[in-house]
Amino acid sequence: MDSLKEHTIEKAITLLSLGGIVALPTETVYGIAAIATNDEAVAKIFALKKRPNFNPLIIHVNNLEMAFAFGIWSKTAIKLVENFWIKKHKPLTIVVQLKKESPLSNLATAGLDTIAIRIPNHPLTLKLLEKLNKPIAMPSANKSSCLSTTTAKDVMNTFPIGLSMIIDGGHCSVGIESTIIDMTTSEPIILRPGGTATEEIEEYLKKTIKNHNDFSVIKSPGLLKRHYSPSIPLRLNALVSHAEEAFLGFGKDAPHSINLNLSVKGDLTEAACNFFKMLRTLDDPTEYKGIAVMPIPNYHLGIAINDRLKRAATKR
Ligand code: TXA
Ligand code: MG
């Protein structure tokens, strides 16, 4: 790592240690980080995002020792860690029981007796975690219920003030948030579809995994019905666009009238990577009255995209 990057990381560590909040790149989306044991710093994140206090944050670590220090891990949960974190470096957040003596901020865990934890995969953020040697609490770097950010510029436009620093790590390679899996129940449950396809987890565990939609109670307090919303209305499964609508396409058969194409090849991984960035580009009330989006196939990362689209289209 070059000395400029080293210097940037040192500066971020100093600011975090002083109770500041810093925007960091991950492979999924940008996040706003605070040291997870510092209640006051964590409170700043909630205030800046205008996030409801009942909605807990994901704790980010860079090694298993730290992950095991805060949570109680079943054999199957450890199996997931070994494959998806260590071997494949995939975006998977695992919910486990919180250890009673945990020093983590109660605000970060929203007072729950469980904890959501993941190892992010971005060289700058991994380096920062290694040097800091403390866990960070880090939600996505967007205002609560709005579109997530996948570039440092989008973070800057969203939060021109309030952040101690933004680390620019380029465009996020995955582009959509981590998959969240609940391992505190007798059978695993996907709480949020995301950058690790459910099919891949099912194949690895050799069983079908239920989605939280199959249950009546909402287990993930952050899974609000309306979320990830642009400022103008969204119309789903559109085959044509109406007057004054922006048109977001998918696949090689998209009509000429589209403004942008999530993936000309029809590749769902590429579409996920472009998703938030393209929605942000088209979210321009001075140009358009709404955004029409073509149908996205509902498998693999298409499931995560459709989950975001459904919430984004839910009326205020
Ligand atoms: O990819 C990601 O996961 C990004 C990057 C920055 O790491 N982070 C992210 O954080 O998406 P956030 O705060 O936007 O979403 C975290 C979700 C929320 O829906 C929250 O309710 C849920 O995780 N969550 C956190 N702790 C939980 C817990 N103990 N049980 C169930 N859900 C939990
Ligand atoms: Mg979020």
Looking at the DSSP bridge assignments, the partners of residue 117 are 59, 94
Nearest to 28 by CA among 185, 171, 181, 189: 171
The span from the CA of 145 to the CA of 133, in Å, is 31
Q: How far, in whole angstroms, is CA 217 from its chain's centroid?
A: 22
Q: What average pLDDT does this structure show over 112-122?
A: 97
Contact residues for 45 (Cβ-Cβ < 8 A; gap 6+): 21, 32, 34, 51, 57, 137, 139
**Would you state the pLDDT for residue 316?**
64
Ligand 1, atom 19, lies closest to the CA of 222
Percent of the chain with pLDDT over 70: 96
5 φ, ψ (degrees, to nearest 5): -65, -40
Q: What ligand has the least distance to the C-alpha of 220?
A: 1
20 lines ligand 1 (CB under 6 A): no
Burial of 202 (0-12, 13-18, 19+ CB in 10 A): middle
Q: What is the pLDDT of residues 37-70, one digit of tens each?
A: 999 999 999 999 999 988 999 999 999 999 999 9
**Would you state the pLDDT for residue 213?**
72
175 lines ligand 1 (CB under 6 A): no
**Would you state the pLDDT for residue 223?**
67
pLDDT above 60: residue 4: yes
CB atoms within 10 A of CB 191: 23
How far is ligand 2, taken at its centre, from the CA of residue 294, in Å? 23
Burial of 7 (0-12, 13-18, 19+ CB in 10 A): exposed
pLDDT above 70: residue 270: yes
The span from the CA of 37 to the CA of 34, in Å, is 8
Written as six digits, the tokens of 184 are 């505190």
Q: What is the pLDDT of residues 151-196, one digit of tens each?
A: 999 999 999 999 999 999 999 999 999 999 999 999 999 999 999 9
Q: How far, in whole angstroms, is CA 104 from its chain's centroid?
A: 20
**Would you state the pLDDT for residue 227?**
79
57 lines ligand 1 (CB under 6 A): yes
95 lines ligand 1 (CB under 6 A): yes
Written as six digits, the tokens of 279 are 């929605």
pLDDT above 70: residue 303: yes
**Would you state the pLDDT for residue 150?**
98
Q: What ligand has the least distance to the C-alpha of 148?
A: 2
How far is ligand 1, taken at its centre, from the CA of residue 169, in Å? 21
The span from the CA of 211 to the CA of 261, in Å, is 29
**Would you state the pLDDT for residue 221?**
64
**Would you state the pLDDT for residue 222?**
61
45 lines ligand 1 (CB under 6 A): no
221 lines ligand 1 (CB under 6 A): yes
Ligand 1, atom 20, lies closest to the CA of 222
Contact residues for 74 (Cβ-Cβ < 8 A; gap 6+): 96, 183
Q: Residue 101: pLDDT band by 50, 70, 90 thresholds?
A: confident
Q: What is the pLDDT of residues 209-228, one digit of tens each?
A: 998 876 545 566 666 677 78
**Would you state the pLDDT for residue 164?**
98
Q: What is the pLDDT of residues 13-42, one digit of tens each?
A: 999 999 999 999 999 999 999 999 999 999
> Which carries the bigger pLDDT value, residue 286 or residue 211?
286
For the chain, give the mean pLDDT: 95
pLDDT above 80: residue 143: yes
222 lines ligand 1 (CB under 6 A): yes
Residue 115 alpha carbon, nearest atom of ligand 1: 29
β-strand pairing of 290-293 with 234-235 = parallel
The span from the CA of 266 to the CA of 187, in Å, is 33
223 lines ligand 1 (CB under 6 A): yes
